[in-house]
Amino acid sequence: MAAIALKRKKEGNSRETNYRTLYILGITFSPLGIIYEIVYFVSGTKVFLVLGLAFIFMGLSYIAIGLGNRDKWKKP
């Protein structure tokens, strides 16, 4: 994916980041991570712990990036 992004950037076909989409993904990933954490506490399977933490941190990061650039949101 990085190679495709670099190729597009060199050709001048790079796209702008859609920060609204990042925000929506963050709103989706955070509750999913919480669900995985609940499943971990019920089942004790460590896979759910790792997945839960990953989705929570990714979701919070996406929310922060999306809200930080709210003035650049694209209209739906």
pLDDT (average), residues 35-48: 94
CB atoms within 10 A of CB 9: 11
Spatial distance between the Cα atoms of 60 and 74, rounded to a whole number of angstroms: 20
- Specify the pLDDT at position 74: 76
Tokens of 2: 């990085």
- Specify the pLDDT at position 33: 96
Spatial distance between the Cα atoms of 55 and 36, rounded to a whole number of angstroms: 9
Looking at the predicted structure, is the pLDDT value of residue 68 above 80? yes
Looking at the predicted structure, is the pLDDT value of residue 1 above 70? no
- Specify the pLDDT at position 14: 66
Phi, psi of 74 (to 5 degrees): -90, 150
- Specify the pLDDT at position 10: 74
- Specify the pLDDT at position 72: 87
Spatial distance between the Cα atoms of 61 and 41, rounded to a whole number of angstroms: 24
